[in-house]
Amino acid sequence: MIDYKKFISEKIKEVTNIETIEDFIEIPANKEMGDYSLPCFKLAKELKKSPQMIANDIKEQLNIDGEIIQKVEEKNGYLNFFINSESLIKTVLEEISEKKEEFGESKIGAGKTVVIDYSAPNIAKPFHIGHLRSTVIGGSLYKIYEALGYKVIGINHLGDYGTQFGKLIEGYKRWGQEYNIEEDPINELTKIYVRINDLCKEDDSVLEECRNNFKKLEDGDEYCTNLWKKFRELSLKEFQRIYDLLDVHFDSLNGEAFYSDKMQEIVDILQNSGKLEESEGAKVIKLDEKQMPPCLIIKSNGSTTYATRDLAAILYRARTYDFDKALYVTSYEQILHFKQVFEVAKLLGLDEKYTDNLTHVPFGMVQLSTGKMSTREGNIIKLEDLLSEAISRASQIIEEKNPHLQDKEEIAKKVGIGAVIFNDLYNSRIKDEIFDWDTMLNFNGETGPYLQYTYVRTNSILEKAKYIPTVNTINYNLLSDETSINLIKAIYEFSNIIKLAASKNEPYIISRYLIDVAQLFSTFYNANKIIDENTEIKEARVYLTYCTNIVLKKGASLLGIKMPERM
């Protein structure tokens, strides 16, 4: 595919000898300013000429024959480039014909590894809506990086370690047979936890027992370890149902406990660095110079912390995966935690290749529009119920719109889950998300179901057309009307959009883009008769429909959304 931006940059470089010219070139919002534009005021200082003069000088010396760039215009100090539509149509259609489902992919990440730490719920505690966001955002970033050729390692850094397990073990030892933890693990374990906590408040000796259990667990005591394993496995089995619904996978389930024997090394390294300080019986790394509170490494009771385990994980991941980037997807409540950890990581003696490439990818909270959803313990929503409700609401809508549809259940699942995922990824991560059923399931809004519906429409057109024409028989001139060209321009941008989404770790760049493509397709569809009597016209328009079909499906897959073939 022709890279127009690069092509234009090369041409300007021939004239100006400015190496970095590509960074200056913009895509103007106003179509009258062309497809690409060079704002010459940015060069005025260096070239000591007025922007208008620079633009005109470059324009005069440019060697352009009209085939790729149709015309170049100077306007108010901007040099505007208009792409030859035939060249654009040809390059897009040929690329799709060649790459098909791989359209948009690239190799910029080839040979590089990115580690993504996401989801990470806590064992024996509910999988809450914040974990859902982490799962959905992390799952999408996984696919985005993969499409760029990176080797991706998805890690579920489970919260499976901590003194609460000493308590759970004690509770289970006392009343285990009263609770059916096999049947409903998280609920039942939560009940045990609440009960033992109450008892601990009344009776210090019970609290002492709990502490002992945790100590025994750390020392590898068989009874305690087996119980811990059981709690972990049962919880994971429950989490797995959510992962199955979302179709999210991990390459590693090494949670916090995995680092229990790897923290001593961290403490030793930090001790040797001379930076580990005693403070009220605890050991900390002071971060005053960085305007942060100290990072707690060993608590005054001798136990390690969440931060110590994250430091051990950095060392382990650097050694094991030799990563080029490591991302951590959690809510913004953990911004300070990661700032501290990343700062302390610089003391571990690792190459800067690792410590310079640790990135926290924070996201905002989820706000419920009404109190309608089933909530437990105030604001904790049972995720599985939420996803089932999404599916059953989608199913109701399908029942109204198309009662005779085949495979209704499968389709309702794609629509319901797709709606939840899209809603999660529609805004910049850091914004709080509004959770409102009617908005996210609206087939005409900027929603997952709207994308799916548009995709299905392209499918039925392709079905009606009966065949997909071969690209070299297409008369490109027949796609030069405004609505077709606008759609083709958007399709052309797909691979840049994927790169941009990765560079900002923002899946919403893809969601917004897909809405754009869907809307441009509707405009094209309303303005043009696709299955035209004239075969040449029909084939050209069918082919553009096919291109749209490919981009919508591929783009949705990068978000983790599945497209139904009919609905």
User: For the chain, what's the residue count?
Assistant: 567
Query: Do 451 and 549 touch, CB atoms closer than 8 A?
Result: no
Query: Do 112 and 325 touch, CB atoms closer than 8 A?
Result: yes
The tokens describing 190, both together, are 């939560």
Residues 114-143 that bind ligand ARG (CB under 6 A): 117, 120, 122
* 160 near ligand ARG, judged by CB under 6 A: no
Closest CA to 551 of 140, 137, 142, 92: 92
Q: Give SS3 for 110.
A: coil
Q: How far apart are CA 275 and CA 295, in angstroms?
A: 11
Q: How far apart are CA 54 and CA 60, in angstroms?
A: 10
Closest CA to 15 of 55, 45, 42: 55
Q: Which residue's CB is nearer to ligand ARG, number 95 or number 117? A: 117
Question: Which of 104, 154, 159, 555 contacts ligand ARG by CB under 6 A?
Answer: 159
* 164 near ligand ARG, judged by CB under 6 A: no
Q: Rounded to the nearest whole angstrom, what is the least distance from the CB of residue 159 to ligand ARG in the complex?
A: 4
* 162 near ligand ARG, judged by CB under 6 A: no
Question: From the candidates 125, 230, 262, 346, which is the catalytic residue?
Answer: 125
Q: Which residue's CB is nearer to ligand ARG, number 33 or number 120? A: 120
* 157 near ligand ARG, judged by CB under 6 A: yes
Strand partners, 122: 159
Q: Rounded to the nearest whole angstrom, what is the least distance from the CB of residue 329 to ligand ARG in the complex?
A: 8
Residue 396's CB is within 10 A of a number of other CB atoms, namely: 12
Q: Which residue's CB is nearer to ligand ARG, number 104 or number 126? A: 126
C-alpha to C-alpha distances, 398 to 52, 120, 246, 255, 372, nearest whole angstrom: 58, 34, 20, 40, 22
Give backbone dihedrals phi and psi of 78, rounded to 5 degrees, phi first.
-105, 140
Residue 125: active-site member: yes
Q: Which residue's CB is nearer to ligand ARG, number 121 or number 171? A: 121
Question: From the candidates 11, 131, 157, 554, which is the catalytic residue?
Answer: 131
Residue 128: active-site member: yes
Q: Rounded to the nearest whole angstrom, what is the least distance from the CB of residue 323 to ligand ARG in the complex?
A: 13
* 328 near ligand ARG, judged by CB under 6 A: yes
Residue 327's CB is within 10 A of a number of other CB atoms, namely: 23
Q: Which residue's CB is nearer to ligand ARG, number 81 or number 259? A: 259
Q: Which residues contact 295 (CB under 8 A, 6 or more apart)?
A: 284, 285, 287, 307, 340, 341, 343, 344
Residue 249: active-site member: no
The tokens describing 91, both together, are 């390059």
Q: Rounded to the nearest whole angstrom, what is the least distance from the CB of residue 378 to ligand ARG in the complex?
A: 17
Q: Rounded to the nearest whole angstrom, what is the least distance from the CB of residue 314 to ligand ARG in the complex?
A: 9
Q: How far apart are CA 163 and CA 301, in angstroms?
A: 11
Closest CA to 248 of 129, 408, 138, 406: 138
Q: Rounded to the nearest whole angstrom, what is the least distance from the CB of residue 253 to ligand ARG in the complex?
A: 13
Site string for ligand ARG, 429-468 (x = CB under 6 A): ----------------------------------------
Q: Which residue's CB is nearer to ligand ARG, number 328 or number 525? A: 328
Q: Rounded to the nearest whole angstrom, what is the least distance from the CB of residue 542 to ligand ARG in the complex?
A: 48
Question: Which of 74, 188, 310, 424 contacts ligand ARG by CB under 6 A?
Answer: 310
Residues 213-232 that bind ligand ARG (CB under 6 A): none
Q: How far apart are CA 72 and CA 80, in angstroms?
A: 6
Query: Which residues are the active-site residues?
Result: 125, 128, 131
Q: Which residues bind ligand ARG (CB under 6 A)?
A: 117, 120, 122, 157, 159, 310, 313, 328, 330
